[in-house]
Amino acid sequence: MGVIKKLLVLAVVGSVAALLFKKLRSGEDDGWQTAYTPPPAPVPDAG
């Protein structure tokens, strides 16, 4: 059980470190949000 717990902790720490490294390296603040532009809302029919 101890080996599985160690691997799980290592995986989590590694993932967090990789995400932080990517974010710091890109230098963009939440750049992933600008990649998606939602379609315009449909205009309700007046008639």
| pLDDT tens digits for range 5-23 | 999 999 999 999 988 888 7
Query: Pseudo-torsion of CA 8, 13, 15, 17, nearest 10°?
Result: -170
Rounded average pLDDT over 38-46: 81
Provide the terminal-to-terminal Cα distance of the chain, rounded to the nearest Å: 67
At 30, the pLDDT band (50, 70, 90 cuts) reads: low
The predicted pLDDT at position 10 comes to 94
Give this prediction's pTM. 0.47
pLDDT above 90 covers a percentage of the chain that reads 34
The predicted pLDDT at position 45 comes to 79
Question: What are the two backbone dihedrals, phi and then psi, of residue 6, each rounded to the nearest 5 degrees?
Answer: -60, -45
* Cα torsion angle, 10, 11, 14, 19, sign: negative
